[in-house]
Chain A
């Protein structure tokens, strides 16, 4: 499992990317999906997830839909048109960042 410092800077990118390939997701679903996709190496904490989701919603990057599930309310998050552009920018930026870090830390795969 990676440290929270490493995950902190990529939380928005992870959320936005997941929501741009899935129609709508709720909080618990997001944490489970990340856990499954990374084989448990990345586990989002609720303490970081929900403040970020609410902030993205306030910025108009995400929209929400409330559904009654049994005897409680579930809030589904989906990405807006503006959000899709932000998601692409974030992924591109992160991709460039990885390239830079690979150069910086000399992590390029070596030809055998």
Chain B
């Protein structure tokens, strides 16, 4: 037995590095091992390089790099069992928390929102990624790894989109549509065309694809979920009652005007009230036309039934992009202020008789904030509620008018 020289050891080390062994500890292990083999088995020192080349294939099946790859794999997943434990705990935690949250929501109890957030965050950012990592590791083929990766992205997105929808946070619909687009246009084609090629997986792939397509279709139908027929009916009834009441009080007022001798101040009251109510009717007609999606001749009840829940139309019709009310609405407010001043001067100083046009406190995004009368009554409200609030306003004007007569 002889001892290898420094340059021979250097040669082996360099060759090991060149063959893809990058971890220093592994380089040292293999260097010592190869040196031991050579020092024990080599008979003729002059054939060092040739002998080295002949024993090297003992260390691998394809190439030396596979020792590095196997080591890296084992070291990367040294926390495999911890990951598996966290996977199970986070999965069970998310499921139970979500169920309790849903239960609380069903019973209108507090804490539902918090539990939803905790459950879906832990599901999307712990359970799904861990599951994906562990499943990818089990797969040998790259195509399967890609499918798992896409499925994970879809899963995380659809969970977050659901959370955002339930919590009424912005971008919920964008996330929802993006995740469905990933499902239909990326995941499903990749999954289908990968699985169908092999005769072993063909049937299962077709069945699974149908199930995925159906489930995705069901989710898609939930995209633009409207209020139930009963909710629509309640909103409509509320609006209708106010409208009828306003017409009734208005008619009573007209009778009162005709039976009494009209004084100049009453005449002026009648003119002012009619003027505002006429302006409001014009604005309502404009809003109905604007919200009718191009359909002609729709009545107020039809608009409420068909497009009442739309949040964008009323705001877009009554407010500018920068959030300020449009001139038509402000003109009504100006007349209402004048009407109040007139009533106060001519008939009653009692504030309860007057229309309430003050700014109000409301819990907004920045805690309590002061918002104007027009924002409070018309900004970011559905078409149905906006129309209802206009009718309420007309009724209030007619009631003030009735009190004064």
- A-side interface residues toward B, CB under 8 Å? 26-28, 31, 45-48, 50-55, 58-59, 66, 69-75
Contacts and interface: CB of A to CB of B under 8 A. Distances in A.
Contacts of B78: 55, 58-59
Given A54-B26, A72-B28, 16 more contacts: A26-B32, A46-B58, A47-B59, A47-B60, A47-B67, A47-B70, A50-B71, A51-B67, A52-B74, A53-B29, A55-B78, A58-B75, A69-B32, A70-B3, A71-B4, A73-B31
Given A27-B33, A46-B59, A73 B74 contact: no
Contacts, number: 73
A72 B31 contact: yes
Interface of B: 3-6, 9, 23, 25-26, 28-33, 35-37, 58-61, 66-67, 70-71, 73-75, 78
A46 B30 contact: yes
A50 B29 contact: yes
B29 A75 contact: yes
Contact of A75 (B25, B37, B75): B25
Contacts of B25: 54, 75
Contact of B71 (A31, A51, A74): A51
B71 A54 contact: yes
A6 B13 CA distance: 32
Nearest to B8: A71
Where chain A touches its partner, the secondary structure class is: helix
Given A46-B67, A47-B61, A54 B75 contact: yes
B3 A75 contact: no
A31 B33 CA distance: 10
Contacts of A26: 32
A27 B32 contact: yes
A64 B400 CA distance: 93
Contacts of B33: 27-28, 31, 46, 50
For the complex of A and B, list the 7 residue pairs with the smallest distance between their C-beta atoms, beginning with the closest: A55-B74, A28-B36, A51-B70, A51-B71, A58-B78, A46-B59, A28-B33
